[in-house]
Amino acid sequence: MDEVLDVGRQALTEGTSAPDRLRRLIHNNICLVRPEETALLQSELGNLEPRDRSRLVEKRDAYQTMWLSVLDDGVARGDF
């Protein structure tokens, strides 16, 4: 999950506009994130100890917030 957050942050800092940041998020999500590990995380999240689950949910929520912030920014600027 840390790698997912890192590539997400990279997309946000390198992008120059909301559409560019969104393209970078999509590219990084498809090309750099390990889909098998992501699927495993989602399927096994409920089986983790509460403390471990809480940490991963917090990171997952941070990643989701990255996406939503780009979309909100693009809508506010009339790009989307």
Per-residue pLDDT tens digits of the chain, which is 80 residues long:
888 899 899 999 999 999 999 999 999 888 876 777 777 777 888 888 999 899 989 999 999 999 999 999 999 999 99
CA angle 73, 78, 80 (to 5 degrees): 75
- Collapsing DSSP states into helix, strand and coil, what is residue 24? helix
pLDDT given at position 38: 75
Give the relative orientation of helices 50-76 and 18-31 as an angle to the nearest 10 degrees: 140
Going from N- to C-terminal start, the domains of the chain cover 2-76
79 DSSP 8-state letter:
-
Structure-token pair, residue 33: 């994130």
Count the helix, strand and coil residues of the chain and give each as a percent rounded to the nearest 5. 85, 0, 15
